[in-house]
Amino acid sequence: MRPEVIDGAAQLLHRHVVLFVAMAQPEVAAIARAIPANVDQMFRSAAAQEMASRRELLLARLRDQGAITLDTLPGQMTASVLNQYLSIKERAVL
């Protein structure tokens, strides 16, 4: 099943520059990297790994469609989006 966000981005890309911003989740990444000590932690780790994998796949599919993707920490989002916007302007994409 294809996520709706990919279809929506594909429709917008005909006339617009699409910047898709994803907020990183360091807690989930830490759980995915941790070595589980028990069954509960194993299931948490597996779920976190799947979330990370699906996230990367989604971002890759958006890039394949022509969208610009930005994966940033919540506290750095404003600066990251502004810097990406300035980079897009500098390359005369807009």
Residue-number span of the structural domain to which 64 is assigned: 4-90
Q: What is the pLDDT of residues 26-53, one digit of tens each?
A: 999 999 999 999 999 999 999 999 999 9
Q: What is the dihedral of CA 30, 36, 37, 39, to 10 degrees?
A: 130
Q: Tell me: the pLDDT tens digits for 13-27? A: 989 999 999 999 999
- What is the secondary structure of 29-94 as a DSSP string? HHHHHSPPSSHHHHHHHHHHHHHHHHHHHHHHHHHHHT-EEEEE-GGGHHHHHHHHHHHHHHTT--
pLDDT-based confidence at residue 94 (cuts at 50, 70, 90)? low
Q: What is the pLDDT of residue 85?
A: 93
The domain tally of the chain equals 1
Digit-coded pLDDT (tens) for 53-91:
999 999 999 999 999 999 999 999 999 999 999 999 998
